[in-house]
Amino acid sequence: MKFDRPLFILSGLVIVAAFLTGCGRSEKSSDADSARRTDEPYRVLCTVGMITDIVRNIAGDYAQVEGIIGEGVDPHLYKPTRSDVVNLSTADVVFYNGLLLEGKMTDVLVRVASSGKPVRAVTEAILQTSDYLLQKEDDSTYTDPHVWMDVRGWMQAVTVVAETLSSFDPAHADIYAANATAYTVQLEALDAYAQQAIGSIPESKRVLVTAHDAFNYLGRATGLTVRGIQGVSTESEAGVRDLEDLVNYIVEQQIPAVFVETSVADKNVRALVEGANARGHAVRIGGALFSDAMGQAGTYEGTYIGMIDSNITTITRALGGEAPELGMQGKLTGVAH
């Protein structure tokens, strides 16, 4: 039997964490139950900002929620520091994406799971959805981890977070459920905006060219054709032939704009622009998109909703569609543009 390597690794980590959580309910579990009865917020650690934002919306004031990987940082390449390991070990609950997004942290997450604390991949529910996950078509063994680009798919992560927090802190389970419901309503509005805005782009122009393949779930959800210079992981390298092929595609399709990403170097995208211009087709950089990291903390783009709103608005306006300059809520600050 041929196993899909990322799914196998992720499933193994989830099973290990669940097994150790269930079998280690002795002194450690009793201590944790005692701590949960206090009025002090418990500590939750998350790997990437998109997860951190979900947890903050659901946990409210009952948890101190921290993220490891900040704005503008590529999680594909991130190596956990010694302080990260300490923080993971001392946190009460840990959330990560899975699907090898945090490939260099996998060993650390396995060790932390062995303590018996909840260590959950927010993509667990998605794994149970038949045929949802996208596989690469380049003969690689990697599954696309960028599930947050499809708002409706990311709603399933909200369910995982709410259930985990309710299990850890059952005294406030009703509050977590209510917060999750309220947040999901906001996500439904965001998804509707994405569908409407992208749908306003002329059909022949619905082509998204970016630095790496982080937007395929968005493409499937909204009808965009997506082309990335690099593969799903930014660890892959783009060759000269890859760039030439994409330049040819841009010229043939008369694509008006291509996009850089806030967490990926822009040199390859600028090479596309120069190549197309040399072929007599004027293409411009349509803006900067948030792919593997959100915007600056404290800004609207520093939230998951703001991140996606910014992406949808930027793509739509650059490709000839109709979208408000300041996004669906009029809150965009333009920090990524």
Residue 286: closest CA among 258, 263, 250, 264:
258
The residue with greater pLDDT, 229 or 235, is 229
Helix, strand or coil, per DSSP, at residue 267 = helix
Residue 54, pLDDT score: 97
Residue 61 scores a pLDDT above 50 = yes
Which DSSP symbol is given to 234?
A: T
Residue 136 scores a pLDDT above 70 = no
Residue 102 scores a pLDDT above 70 = yes
Phi, psi of 152 (to 5 degrees): -65, -35
Residue 77, pLDDT score: 84
For 195-318, CATH gives 3.40.50.1980
Residue 24, pLDDT score: 36
Residue 74, pLDDT score: 83
Residue 32, pLDDT score: 44
**pLDDT tens-digit profile of 257-315?**
999 999 888 998 999 999 999 999 999 999 999 999 999 999 999 999 999 999 999 99
Residue 52, pLDDT score: 97
From 20-24, 43-47, 244-248, 326-330, the region with the lowest mean pLDDT: 20-24
Helices (H), the chain: 5-23, 27-36, 49-59, 82-90, 106-113, 124-127, 151-168, 173-199, 216-222, 240-253, 267-278, 304-318
Whole-number average pLDDT of the chain? 86
CB atoms within 10 A of CB 271: 17
Phi, psi of 102 (to 5 degrees): -100, 50
Residue 225 scores a pLDDT above 60 = yes
Q: For residues 243 and 163, what is the distance between their CA atoms, to the nearest angstrom? A: 45
Burial of 138 (0-12, 13-18, 19+ CB in 10 A): exposed
Mean pLDDT on 125-143: 76
pTM for the full predicted model:
0.86
Residue 50, pLDDT score: 97
The DSSP bridge partners found for residue 289 are: 261
**pLDDT tens-digit profile of 172-219?**
999 999 999 999 999 999 999 999 999 999 999 999 999 888 999 999
Residue 19, pLDDT score: 32
Residue 238, pLDDT score: 53
- Every domain of the chain with CATH number 3.40.50.1980 lies at 5-193, 195-318
**pLDDT tens-digit profile of 21-59?**
333 333 343 344 434 545 789 999 999 999 999 999 999
Do 89 and 40 contact (CB within 8 A), yes or no? no
From 116-125, 235-244, 285-294, 309-318, the region with the lowest mean pLDDT: 235-244
Burial of 81 (0-12, 13-18, 19+ CB in 10 A): exposed
Question: CA end-to-end span of the chain, whole Å?
Answer: 47
The residue with greater pLDDT, 14 or 165, is 165
Residue 26, pLDDT score: 34
Residue 142, pLDDT score: 67
> What tokens does 246 get?
């994409």
5-193, which class in CATH? alpha beta
How far, in Å, are 167, 183, 186 from residue 172 at the CA level?
9, 17, 22
Residue with tokens 């396995």: 110
